Structure 1
Amino acid sequence: MTTRELGRAGEDLAAEHLVACGWQILERNLQLSQGELDIVALAHTTLVFVEVKTRRTFVTGVPQAAVTAAKLRRLRRLAGEYLMERSTPHRDVRIDVVAVLAHLDGTFSLEHLEAV
């Protein structure tokens, strides 16, 4: 599995997880002028921008460690750009991270971190 395929599998797994939690997926891999949002979803009345990080090993740390302070600043800018361009009905806004680890046996484990 290539890195791109691994990332896509992680995003698919994350989207399935969110739908199973009763969320509505509004956008996936949304290209904006300042970058890309992995998943935009509606969790009841909360608009959630979800960053998905998928890894094969812990050599570079746990997947969620890749969401640094600089990455969070970029995600906030992207969320602001999204909100300026679209009028999605919502009451609250937050950024979540879904960390996916691909195991050698072909299985995946997932951790959903809310309001990072």
Structure 2
Amino acid sequence: MTAAELGRAGEQLAATYLERVGFTVLERNVHLRTGEIDIVALDGTTLTFIEVKTRRTLVTGVPQAAVTPAKLRRLRRLVGAYLMDASPPHRDIRIDVLAVLAHADGTFAVEHLRGVG
């Protein structure tokens, strides 16, 4: 599985997980002028922007460690740009990270970090 295929598999798994725990996935892979938002979803009345990080090994650290302070600043700017163009009905806004670890046996582990930014 290539890195791009792994990323797509992780994002599909993330979307399925979110729907299973009660989120409504509104959009995936939202392309904006300055970047991309992986998943936009509603968690009740909270508009949630989800960054998905998928890894095969922990050699470079846990997947969520890739969401650095600089990445969070970039995500906040992307959220602002998204809200200028499209704003589904919501009460609150939140940024989450979904960390996906692909095991060698083909299974995945998912960790959902809420309100990271």
TM range (shorter): over 0.9
Look up the match of 1:99.
Answer: 99
- Residue in 2 aligned with 1:15? 15
Q: Could you tell me which residue of structure 2 aligns to residue 115 of structure 1?
A: 115
Give the deviation of 1:21 after TM superposition.
Answer: 1.1
Look up the match of 2:38.
38
- Partner of 1:60: helix, strand, or coil? coil
Q: Percent identity?
A: 71
Where does residue 54 of structure 2 map in the other structure? 54
> C-alpha deviations, 1:6-42, integer Å up to 9, x for none?
0000000100010001111111001001100000001
TM-score, scaled to structure 2: 0.98
Residue in structure 1 matched with residue 80 of structure 2 by the alignment: 80
In structure 1, the gaps of 5 or more residues are none
Normalised TM-score (structure 1): 0.99
Aligned residues: 116
- CA deviations on 1:69-116 (whole Å, 9 max, x unpaired) are 000000000000001111210000000000000001110000000000
Runs of 4+ aligned structure 1 residues displaced above 6 Å come to: none
User: Over aligned residue pairs, what C-alpha RMSD do you find?
Assistant: 0.5
Structure 2, unaligned runs of 5 or more: none
Distance in 2, matches of 1:45 and 1:84, equals: 18
Give SS of 1:51's match: strand
